[in-house]
Amino acid sequence: METIKRYLIAGLMVGSLLTCLLQSCSTDADEQEIAVEDQLTQQELQTVLETDQWTAVADTALAEIYQNGNSTSGKSAANECYQVVYSETGFTATFGNCMLNGTDNVNGTLVVTYSTNPDIASYTATFDGFFVGAIELNGTRTYTLVMGENQNSISLTVNSEMTVTLEDQSTIIESGTKTLTVTFGETLSDISFSITGNWMLQVGENTYSVTILEPLNGNFECEYLLSGIMDLNKNGLEIEVDFGDGSCDDMAQLTYPNGAKENISL
């Protein structure tokens, strides 16, 4: 299952791209009479996306462990920072002061359960007191991989029900689903991807939700998203983000609840 590892990594790359895009909001909304308390700040947009960054440090490791899995109970494996014990239904991975993808020390145990459907490449990881540096992760993430009908595309869906406890003991609750679909090609411009999904965050008294209205599309040649529309909702306030018509450029358009539109450079 080498493809799982490959496209988990692709998903992380796309997530980083989205972070860069969304952190580029300008302050022109002040001139369009959008109340300050209603505006989405850069920090809030970072929070909307950051939970994936914290959980992603384990994603690629889990993909490697899964692809090397042995269905025979009692088998084990180890590398320099984690140990794995396989069973017939999954595996248990214990991390000890791991440095994964340049992150802070990763510590804790993840219990992974395979899907009971042999025709589906899917597994669920349970986080219980799992630490990335001083950040604690609790909850579940389910990963499902589906090949396209013509074997020329692959989709990775991640469903999360996670609670993130920050160093200051504040919490972020995330729930929802994201799907990354990659279509193969012979050149970078021919290898395209799309992102769909719906997810929600609760941060203190604020609730944020993201709905992909039209798939966010791109390819591996252009550093920007080419098209797609995202709805960002903060406590009932909806802001539409339109990433364009397919051209490789650094522009997106925001539409506010009062109808005001704003072009931003990404």
pLDDT in tens, 83-101: 888 888 899 999 888 776 6
CA distance 178 to 160: 9
Treating both helix axes as pointing N-terminal to C-terminal, what angle do 2-22 and 42-67 enclose, rounded to 10 degrees? Answer: 170
How many domains, in total, are found in the chain? 1
- Coil, strand or helix at 214: strand
pLDDT averaged over the chain?
A: 78
- Domain assignment present for residue 222? The answer is no
Residues belonging to the chain: 266
- Domain assignment present for residue 92? The answer is yes
CA distance 61 to 111: 13
* Each residue's pLDDT tens digit, 139-168: 999 999 888 877 788 888 999 999 999 889
- Domain assignment present for residue 235? The answer is no
DSSP state of 27: S
- Domain assignment present for residue 262? The answer is no
Please enumerate in sequence order all residues whose Cβ is within 8 A of that of 67, keeping only pairs 6 or more positions apart, or say none: 1, 2, 4, 5
Domain encompassing residue 91 = 2-209
- Domain assignment present for residue 114? The answer is yes
Greater pLDDT, 142 or 73: 142
- Domain assignment present for residue 25? The answer is yes
- Domain assignment present for residue 88? The answer is yes
Residue 88 C-alpha from the chain's centroid: 29
Greater pLDDT, 171 or 262: 171
Residue 176 confidence (pLDDT) above 60: yes
- Domain assignment present for residue 128? The answer is yes
Give residue 40's pLDDT: 60
